[in-house]
Chains A and B, each alone.
Chain A
């Protein structure tokens, strides 16, 4: 009876692995490889606009695109959202902004984290639309979007090169 009332629970470890592979193709693959080399690549569309992040196919004509353009690591915030309480695995462990950054020479904006003072801080480097920013590269780069650790405000608001840590 006691066996029924207090059954010994058998257990065994079971680790199910379900890996995913991403074949990135010639354009996104080049973009990611560029990040590893500290180069941000955009691509020229059929209407002459430079798209960054680059698109494999033209959003207007559907043509295959292949004219990659190296962009500087500086740009302008076009819009943003403040993140007061970062969650685990987000790019920064202190309050930061999610920002759309239009890199200099590009016509579209890239979403990434921005390490800047909060909007109501009165700090001239505080997050705002129009803020001039630069890429902060990650120390270890693997060919992923996280090779950009985040963006950070340019100290003098000009177009000079971004910092590196």
Chain B
């Protein structure tokens, strides 16, 4: 095992705490992610995903006990606290409604807050929705706010993460072309996903490698797009799952971890919070060998090189070995650990929704409902998100079987 685990970060004792309600995903809905949805309001965008999740679960607004929504920073659209006006659109009038924020990981942590409400038996059935309407402003410049006492060197998230990619390459000796392999894979996977933003039918590996350099070593083609989109899930317990018309995805483990943006000794290449979060989730699920036991992973990869970096951080590869899994095709759709069969964040990035899409795609896979990008025999899948300066992590493992079965 590569991941050095901080023992204090992992609770001892039983896997999922005794007495918790098993949590089932019985409905999933997404918008078709595109660069601009000028035809709908923010409310209309969320509504579309929420209605599709309800339809998938064959439920109505009346069946929902609480609504948990998430999005990335409010200045991405310039609407402060949009949740103030979203209650009617999400059928939340006279029900509890919460809003979660953990930067880019928010889609994942929003799903986990909703899941924990079900697990704790606070609510029976919870609707969770995450979104971003990037066309309403410009997230790249929104992420370029000056940090006090620092030289204003960055332009967008790529400017922040590029040096960490370079550090990974230097640390591991990974050859230059690994990033392009990830980008080419994810964009081809997206062709099988009708909801993906980018459908680049004419893309070739050569085109990926010759794209303009944006933030050295990250090329334009190795960067996520700006998308308008929303994702929703209906989460419920054992009784709700028994009534569901289609197979449920069951949560086998879920965790969040945080650390500061900057501190002495922070490992940007493989943050401790990410390693601890993964270790906690695997512990809950009884996973001791993630590479062997987990069938596929939907990992938050906004820049191509983050696939090998997170493969190591998540314990799928030993340190310095992640890029070899990429190079040998292990993470391809037909590899033994497919990563981002949906096309991933590299093919669709409605920021606040991107984490929830990872969680939802993992759920679709173990439900056997992923359509053309279905991985045959998927029984256990990881959904992963990270956000901020590689400092907020949220993950869940979902399976086709009930965790207590």
Contact = CB atoms under 8 A, between A and B. Distances in A.
Interface of A: 16, 18-26, 28, 55-62, 64
B194 to A, nearest CB: 22
Nearest to A58: B88
B89 A62 contact: yes
Contacts of B42: 23
Given A24-B41, A25-B43, A61-B61, 10 more contacts: A18-B142, A19-B138, A20-B136, A22-B136, A23-B36, A23-B133, A25-B44, A56-B41, A56-B44, A62-B88
A61 B87 CA distance: 11
Nearest to A56: B43
B154 interface: no
19 contacts: A16-B141, A18-B138, A18-B141, A19-B138, A21-B135, A21-B137, A22-B136, A23-B37, A23-B38, A23-B41, A23-B136, A24-B41, A25-B39, A25-B40, A25-B43, A59-B88, A61-B61, A62-B61, A62-B88
B47 A57 contact: yes
A68 B138 CA distance: 33
A24 B41 CA distance: 5
Interface string B12-40: 00000000000000000000000011111
Does more than half of chain A's interface fall in helix, strand or loop, or is it mixed? loop
Contacts of A16: 141
Interface string B116-142: 000000000000000001011110011
B60 to A, nearest CB: 9
Contacts of A19: 137-138
Interface string B93-108: 1000000000000000
The 10 closest A-B pairs by CB, nearest first: A25-B41, A62-B91, A20-B78, A57-B88, A57-B89, A25-B44, A62-B61, A23-B38, A20-B137, A21-B136
A68 to B, nearest CB: 15
Interface of B: 36-44, 47, 61, 77-78, 88-91, 93, 133, 135-138, 141-142
B82 to A, nearest CB: 12
B126 to A, nearest CB: 16
A55 B40 contact: no
Given A18-B138, A22-B136, A59 B93 contact: yes
Does more than half of chain B's interface fall in helix, strand or loop, or is it mixed? loop
A62 B93 contact: yes
Contact of A18 (B36, B43, B89, B137): B137
Contacts of B136: 20-23
Nearest to A25: B41
A56 B141 contact: no
Which of A19, A20, A61 has the largest number of chain B CB atoms within 10 A? A20
Contacts of A56: 41, 43-44, 88-89
Contacts of B61: 61-62
Nearest to B142: A18
A23 B88 contact: no
A79 to B, nearest CB: 21
A23 B89 contact: no
B93 A28 contact: no
Given A57-B88, A62-B88, A62-B89, A23 B141 contact: no
A106 B186 CA distance: 53
A6 B93 CA distance: 64
Nearest to B137: A20
A20 B77 contact: yes
Which of A18, A23, A57, A60 has the largest number of chain B CB atoms within 10 A? A23
B88 to A, nearest CB: 4
A27 to B, nearest CB: 8
B154 to A, nearest CB: 14
A54 to B, nearest CB: 12
A59 B91 CA distance: 8
B163 to A, nearest CB: 23
Nearest to A20: B78
Nearest to B40: A25
Given A16-B141, A18-B137, A18-B141, A23 B40 contact: yes
Contacts of A23: 36-42, 133, 135-136
Contacts of A57: 43, 47, 88-89
Contacts of B40: 23, 25
Contacts of A26: 44
Contacts of B36: 23
Contacts of B39: 23, 25
Contacts of B43: 25, 56-57
Contacts of A55: 88
A60 B93 contact: yes
A158 to B, nearest CB: 35
A64 B90 CA distance: 11
